Amino acid sequence: MRTEGMARFEALKQEARDRLAARKKELLVCCGTGCRARGALELADLFAGEVQARGLEVSVGLFVKRVGCHGCCEQGPLVVVSPDDVLYARVKKTHVPRILDAVVENRVVEKFLYKDPASGERIVHAGDIPFYKHQTKYVLRNVGKIDPTDMYDALTHGAYAGVVKALFEMSPEEVIEQVRISGLRGRGGAGFSTARKWAACRKAKGDIKYILCNGDEGDPGAFEDASLMEGDPHAVIEGMIIGAFAVGSRQGYIYVRDEYPVAVKHLQRAIDQARDAGLLGTDILGTGMDFDIQISRGGGAFVCGESSALMRSIEGKIGEPRAKYVHATDRGLWDRPTVLNNVETWATIGKLIQEGGATFAAMGTEKSKGTKAFTLVGKVRNTGLIELPMGTPLRHIVFDIGGGMPKGRAFKAVQTGGPSGGCVPEELLDAPVDYEVLTEAGSMMGSGGMIVMDDRTCMVNVARYFLNFLIEESCGKCVPCREGLKQLQIMYDDILEGRADEGVLDRIEALSAGMKLASLCDLGRSAPNPVLSTLRHFRAEYEAHIRDRTCPAGVCRELTAFEILDTCDGCHLCVPACPTGAITGEPKTPHVLDQNLCISCGACFDVCPTGAIRHFSQRELKERTAHAQADH
């Protein structure tokens, strides 16, 4: 039976190779969410239609493939010529004929190649672009390479090889041991040992056990889980099958936010394909193992990313957390032993088992092994999806991969861990990114979102943003979280609008400490993190708001005024940028700003190329106005 099952899988792989044998070259059109927003689907259809019209599938062996997120979202839509690794950036429909001509003639269209923002150099190969060459792809190994709706394409790139090795060459205990050797920790934020969780569930009493995948990615600025589900759903399914084999489960659920319709579509198609191929369902590959997966769609509640709230949601109940002394590995979904890991953790498992845990453990740091996927967004030149070994310094991520700040602005902070995380300042830029270091800095790993901020960012305002977010997302079950967040919001409004007294910071810190101690779940306990980290690293900015009634970043409207200096050369960029018509002046002559019309939005300041606009405090403006009136 084991031989028959192996032969069945090898026949499946051979069928995949036969189906794709005619493909000599492929045009990989990125159809990740960012590129879709810029017309990538229509672009792919146009490429496919032109290739068919020219007969290039037969004459050249050229095929168009719609792939998941290729990574460098800032440059989308992206098109890669494979296997030549030629990358075209910001591709337009009008570029299609010239790109196809170049593919046929084995040349490149230099004008459409990626342009390095620092040097201005056109770079031919994706692997030579700084954004890509500094990365190590492990979990994202096939995202941007395969058609996520085609299981045969996934099979030619190694999908389900880990399942075959686990089922035909290993025992459940050996699978868990390899995970233990790897040092893999949960990629959803807490960083709990994956092997310990699996071993506890395997030992738990009961014949019915569940495997759950947390795809309820809700952190602002994070989309790595969405990109995995959209771009390589078979990797997630493969990991769950291996996990089910290890703990003895026959049923799995993937919990996906309702805001991820493409992920749901691709996951469901992949589940159906795997079931048809005998990789899901009853008697998987003739091994006698039964395991199947269903998708459970969440309503978009941030709190349902918390494990117990997620399980209640799958059960059809209100997504509220429960006390943590009840372990999910003993009593989880429907009070049965349950393993819950996030998307990235499951997508890691197949390759980990195929290559062995030691290979994974060779990357990263002593306590944080392997690689980690991140989304790099905010005030940085190259935004997108990246993957790096644990322990990579933040400076390397922001400046070597991200390309640094646009418009020559200065770096201020990077926010990690979403609403439950914190802000890391410039003096900690050389710190290695791992679970322990980020926690020591007052932040956390989270699911992997990184939001870069420049000197035009008000850190007090950033903290209030996350407070507002969490107020909307709190389930309201426990008083410390529900009422604590509201009281913090009131104090922050006072600070940002110039009403706070100097004792407000002590009250903020005391209330935050109480919330961390008394809240029921991790949402409430971690809610003060953005508050405390900004207070810790940017206290002077808070004090400026309170004592001087000024915003150093020039962001808070109630505290900020703007004026045009005598050095204005009349470039006229500020005039159309102003939403209220407060700026007047002829081109090439100094302009004038009418304070009575100015709403302190800062649009003029942001577009001024010469630094001829400055921001100052509303207090100074009022004093100046009072003096002018007295003199008059």
pLDDT, one tens digit per residue, over 325-364 is 778 999 999 999 999 999 999 999 999 999 999 999 999 9
pLDDT at site 607: 93
For the chain, report the end-to-end CA distance as a whole number of angstroms: 100
**Identity of residue 206:** G
| Cβ 230 vs Cβ 148: under 8 Å | yes
Beta strands in 23-177 (DSSP E): 25-30, 62-67, 79-82, 86-88, 114-115, 122-123
pLDDT at site 419: 84
Read off the pLDDT of residues 7-48 as tens digits, 9 standing for 90 and up: 889 999 999 999 899 999 999 999 999 999 999 999 999 999
pLDDT surpasses 60 at 270: yes
Residues 389, 368: Cα–Cα separation, whole Å: 9
Task: Report the percent of the chain where pLDDT is more than 90.
Answer: 80
pLDDT at site 138: 96
The predicted model gives 362-381 an average pLDDT of: 94
The predicted model gives 424-440 an average pLDDT of: 90
Confidence of residue 385 (pLDDT cuts 50, 70, 90): very high
Which of 417, 422, 439, 527 is CA-nearest to residue 478? 527
The predicted model gives 455-482 an average pLDDT of: 91
Task: Report the percent of the chain where pLDDT is more than 70.
Answer: 99
Residues 227, 32: Cα–Cα separation, whole Å: 7
pLDDT at site 521: 85
The predicted model gives 108-113 an average pLDDT of: 96
Beta strands in 546-591 (DSSP E): 560-564, 583-584
For CA atoms 37, 254, 220, 75, the dihedral sign is: negative
Read off the pLDDT of residues 180-193 as tens digits, 9 standing for 90 and up: 999 999 887 778 89
> Quick one: CATH architecture of 460-547?
Up-down Bundle (1.20)
How would you write 232-259 as a 3-class SS string? Answer: CHHHHHHHHHHHHHHHCCCEEEEEEECC
pLDDT at site 571: 94
Confidence of residue 440 (pLDDT cuts 50, 70, 90): confident
Topology of the domain covering 151-361 = Rossmann fold (3.40.50)
DSSP states along 398-431? IIIIS---GGGPPEEEEEESGGGSEEEEGGGTTS
Confidence of residue 494 (pLDDT cuts 50, 70, 90): very high
What are the phi and psi torsion angles at 184 (to 5°)? Answer: -60, 125
Any idea which residue has 């092997």 for tokens? 195
Q: Is the peptide bond before 77 cis (omega within 30 degrees of 0)?
A: yes
Write the CA distances from 149 to 13, 31, 68, 146, 236, integer angstroms.
16, 12, 10, 9, 14
Tokens at 511, concatenated: 């209330």
Confidence of residue 1 (pLDDT cuts 50, 70, 90): very low
CATH 1.20.1250.20 is right for the domain spanning 371-457: no
pLDDT surpasses 60 at 322: yes
The predicted model gives 253-270 an average pLDDT of: 95
pLDDT at site 632: 60
Residues 168, 161: Cα–Cα separation, whole Å: 11
For CA atoms 594, 599, 605, 607, the dihedral sign is: negative
The predicted model gives 228-248 an average pLDDT of: 98
Residues 428, 451: Cα–Cα separation, whole Å: 15
The predicted model gives 246-265 an average pLDDT of: 95
The Cβ-side half-sphere exposure at 242, using a 13 Å CA radius, reads 36
SS3 507: helix
The predicted model gives 123-145 an average pLDDT of: 96
Domain ranges of the chain: 22-129, 151-361, 371-457, 460-547, 557-631
> Which CATH number, 3.40.630.10, 3.60.70.12, 3.30.70.20, 1.10.3720.10, labels domain 557-631?
3.30.70.20
Mean pLDDT of the chain: 93
The predicted model gives 251-256 an average pLDDT of: 97
Q: Is the peptide bond before 83 cis (omega within 30 degrees of 0)?
A: yes
Residues 52, 545: Cα–Cα separation, whole Å: 63
Furthest-apart CA pair in the chain: how many Å?
A: 100
CATH of domain 22-129: 3.40.30.10
pLDDT at site 303: 83
| Cβ 23 vs Cβ 293: under 8 Å | no
Q: What's the residue count for the chain?
A: 632
| Cβ 73 vs Cβ 131: under 8 Å | no
Q: Among 174-183, 213-222, 271-280, which is the least confidently predicted range?
A: 213-222
pLDDT surpasses 80 at 426: yes
SS3 624: helix
pLDDT surpasses 90 at 557: yes
The predicted model gives 238-251 an average pLDDT of: 98
The pairs formed by 260-266 with CB atoms below 8 angstroms and a separation of 24 or more are 260/215, 260/217, 260/226, 260/229, 260/230, 262/33, 262/36, 262/226, 262/230, 263/215, 263/226, 263/229, 263/230, 263/233, 264/295, 264/297, 266/148, 266/149, 266/229, 266/230, 266/231, 266/233
Confidence of residue 621 (pLDDT cuts 50, 70, 90): confident
Calculate ∠ Cα 263-74-114, nearest 5°: 120
Confidence of residue 366 (pLDDT cuts 50, 70, 90): very high
CB burial readout 316-355, b (16+ within 10 A) else e: eeebbbbeeeeebbbbbbeebbbbbbbbbbbbbbbbbbbb
pLDDT surpasses 80 at 421: yes
Tokens at 72, concatenated: 């460098």
Q: Among 38-47, 100-109, 220-229, which is the least confidently predicted range?
A: 220-229
